[in-house]
């Protein structure tokens, strides 16, 4: 069945006139996509697991920069995939109009599987692009949930497609190359690679700081924002107002405490250079000063190995609270920060205090913290 | 007999690999489809995917072919590959930056999101692309 589908698909169909098209061009572009799609899938799945940890998943707090790299890679790879995916579709475009459109059940199934693959692949890339540009109106669904589940469809359809087409790819890549067509094809592939390089160069500076000045087409600049740091959700958007002297941080644990801002400032202060690494692929390092999470845990007599629920004054929203993994709770770099880059935290950065911990997505670095709950 | 086996071995491995790929792929895609139905809005996702496919097949791809054909007519044969590269780079940058150019995600309540002048960024990038394309074309003309 699989073999038949493969044979039927691999039969040469009428091709539009370009000599650049052909099994070899398509195969080489396919090999490139067989790298970029799994990279996006694995890094995306990792980000999902960190944010929605099942019981078997323990996310470490070191290396500090790991999430910054995996998520930066996720968005950069997705961006660089655009020209490769479009070139791949171009290379097989004439097959879309093959006649007769369906030659039996196997052919129908293989065409349907390609339709699912193309639909899922285009949708993943487009929704990712819309999300980083924060344009949600065209998506009649909640982005993160759909992007996650559709990624499984895309990677599954990709595996099926590779399984079906493997003999074609093998044949195309094993065949000796005819010189003139080969040079032209290399020119085309070099142009596609250059396009991938160009969109990377003009966007990746949103997370790779030395390239920040080249990032003329990036949705973020790591140095632009209050106190020279970008903001994902501002206080106005979160419906948060500046607290007054009546503010108390409530910590629930074996020995519950309520701390005023003066109490927090009187505790030992520590400074850590930690990045905000956003799921949207930008990141920026700040110098944060505040109280160590593990000091606060000791204050309420929290048991070793506990996790911590960190809740915000933010009204509603999916990200109004987060759970700090056990490793981050123990890590001396994890802070309840009161200051950023030497100044009192800007309201948009979470005044009076925010969580900042190593190796976590920005959405979990809860701002405007008013309650901590020890989870044994 | 042994010769027969030897020639068959790679074919057998290939077949097993293909069956495993298709099998694992079907399970993964099925899991994703189940998740979409259980937790997302499958009709919305399907409609978006359909729009993406039709938008590519009926608008973007024909447009790209048309631009390519017109550019091919207007360009002398030995410069065609250089101009094609310039067009591929320009088209890619245009598509990737389109959501930023339109700027619907920009909010007065958060100035650090989409903080740059994207039309200017795009203009500079495209200018650099065609400057490079022009230079390469010039070199090709001198040393064909």
**Which residues are within 8 A (CB) of A368 and not within 5 positions of it... i.e. 6 or more apart?**
A235, A238, A240, A312, A313, A314, A350, A351, A352, A354
Handedness of CA A162, A168, A169, A170 (dihedral sign): positive
Residues of A in contact with B29 (CB under 8 A): 116, 152-153, 155-157, 160
Query: What is d(CA A242, CA A352) in angstroms, rounded to the nearest whole number?
Result: 8
Give bridge partners of residue B128 from the DSSP assignment: none
B118 touches chain A (CB under 8 A): yes
The answer to whether the beta carbons of residues A360 and A328 sit under 8 Å apart is yes
User: Which region, left, alpha or beta, applies to residue A359 given φ > 0 means left and ψ of -120 to 50 means alpha?
Assistant: left
Q: Which of residues 101-160 of A touch B (CB under 8 A)?
A: 115-116, 118-120, 122-123, 126-127, 129-130, 132-142, 145-146, 148-160
CA angle A31/A32/A36 to nearest 5° reads 120
Query: What is d(CA A47, CA A67) in angstroms, rounded to the nearest whole number?
Result: 8
Mean pLDDT of B89-104: 97
A163 touches chain B (CB under 8 A): yes
Q: For testing the chain B interface, which of A115, A149, A220 should be mutated: the one with the most B CBs within 10 Å?
A: A149
Q: Which of B56, B19, B21, B31 has its CA nearest to residue A115?
A: B56
Query: What is d(CA A232, CA B98) in angstroms, rounded to the nearest whole number?
Result: 21
Catalogue the long-range contacts made by A50-59 (C-beta closer than 8 Å, 24 or more residues apart): A50/A360, A50/A361, A50/A364, A51/A279, A51/A361, A51/A363, A51/A364, A53/A323, A53/A325, A58/A325, A58/A326, A58/A327, A59/A325, A59/A327, A59/A328, A59/A359, A59/A360
**B45-75 confidence digits (pLDDT tens):** 999 999 999 999 999 999 999 999 999 999 9
Interhelix angle A23-51/A179-201, nearest 10 degrees: 30
- Answer whether the bond into residue A352 is a cis peptide, omega within 30°: yes
Number of helices and strands in chain A (H, E): 10, 10
B101 touches chain A (CB under 8 A): no
Q: Which two tokens stand for residue A248?
A: 């108390």
Q: Which of A213, A282, A268, A241 has its CA nearest to residue A370?
A: A241
Nearest by CB to residue A156, choosing from B25, B110, B124, is: B25
Q: For testing the chain B interface, which of A85, A119, A276 should be mutated: the one with the most B CBs within 10 Å?
A: A119
Chain A: residue nearest B29 by CA? Answer: A153
The answer to whether the beta carbons of residues A133 and B105 sit under 8 Å apart is yes
pLDDT of residue A6: 40
Nearest by CB to residue A141, choosing from B40, B64, B104, is: B40
Q: Residue B95: pLDDT above 50?
A: yes
- Chain A nearest C-alpha distance from B3 (Å): 22
Pairing of strands A369-375, A249-252: parallel
The helix/strand/coil state of A284 is: strand
- Chain A nearest C-alpha distance from B33 (Å): 6
ipTM of the complex, rounded to two decimals: 0.94
pLDDT of residue A319: 81
pLDDT of residue A3: 43
Q: Which residues of chain A have pLDDT under 70?
A: 1-17
């Amino acid at each position: 069945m699989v073999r038949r589908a493969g044979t039927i698909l691999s039969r040469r169909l009428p091709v539009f006139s370009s000599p650049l098209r052909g099994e070899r061009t398509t195969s080489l572009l396919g090999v490139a996509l067989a790298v970029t799609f799994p990279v996006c899938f694995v890094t995306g799945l990792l980000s999902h697991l960190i944010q929605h940890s099942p019981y078997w998943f323990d996310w470490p707090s070191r290396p500090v920069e790991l999430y910054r790299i995996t998520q930066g890679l996720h968005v950069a790879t997705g961006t660089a995939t655009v020209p490769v995916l479009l070139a791949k579709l171009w290379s097989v475009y004439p097959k879309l109009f093959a006649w007769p459109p369906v030659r039996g059940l196997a052919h129908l199934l293989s065409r349907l599987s390609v339709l699912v693959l193309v639909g899922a692949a285009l949708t993943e890339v487009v929704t990712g692009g819309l999300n980083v540009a924060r344009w949600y109106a065209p998506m009649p669904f909640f982005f993160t949930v759909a992007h996650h589940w559709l990624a499984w469809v895309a990677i599954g359809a990709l595996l099926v497609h590779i399984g079906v087409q493997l003999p074609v790819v093998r044949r195309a890549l094993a065949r000796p190359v005819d010189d003139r067509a080969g040079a032209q094809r290399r020119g085309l592939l070099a142009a596609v690679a250059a396009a991938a390089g160009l969109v990377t160069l003009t966007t990746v500076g949103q997370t790779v700081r030395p390239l920040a000045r080249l990032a003329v087409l990036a949705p973020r600049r790591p140095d632009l924002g209050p106190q020279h740091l970008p903001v994902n959700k501002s206080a106005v958007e979160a419906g948060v107002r500046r607290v007054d002297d009546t503010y108390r941080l409530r910590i629930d644990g074996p020995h519950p405490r309520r701390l005023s801002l003066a109490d927090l400032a009187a505790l030992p202060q520590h400074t850590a250079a930690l990045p905000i690494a956003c799921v949207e692929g930008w990141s920026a390092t700040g110098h944060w000063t505040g109280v160590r999470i593990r000091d606060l845990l000791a204050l309420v007599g929290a048991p070793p190995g506990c996790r911590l629920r960190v809740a915000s004054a933010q009204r509603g929203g999916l990200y109004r609270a987060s759970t700090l993994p056990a490793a981050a709770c123990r890590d001396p770099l994890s802070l309840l920060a009161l200051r950023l880059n030497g100044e009192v935290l800007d309201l948009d950065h979470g005044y009076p205090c925010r969580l900042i911990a190593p190796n976590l997505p920005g959405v979990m670095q809860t701002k405007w913290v008013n309650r901590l709950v020890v989870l044994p | 007999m042994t010769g027969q086996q030897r020639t068959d071995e790679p074919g057998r491995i290939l077949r097993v690999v293909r069956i495993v790929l298709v099998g694992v792929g079907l399970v993964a895609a099925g899991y994703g489809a189940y998740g979409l139905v259980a937790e997302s809005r499958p009709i919305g996702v399907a409609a978006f995917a359909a729009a993406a496919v039709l938008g590519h097949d009926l608008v973007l791809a024909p447009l790209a072919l048309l631009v390519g054909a017109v550019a091919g007519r207007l360009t002398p044969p030995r410069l065609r590959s250089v101009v094609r590269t310039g067009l591929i780079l320009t088209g890619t940058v245009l598509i990737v930056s389109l959501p930023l150019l339109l700027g619907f995600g920009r909010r007065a309540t958060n100035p650090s999101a989409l903080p740059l002048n994207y039309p200017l960024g795009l203009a500079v990038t495209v200018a650099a692309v065609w400057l490079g394309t022009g230079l390469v074309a010039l070199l090709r003309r001198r040393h064909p």
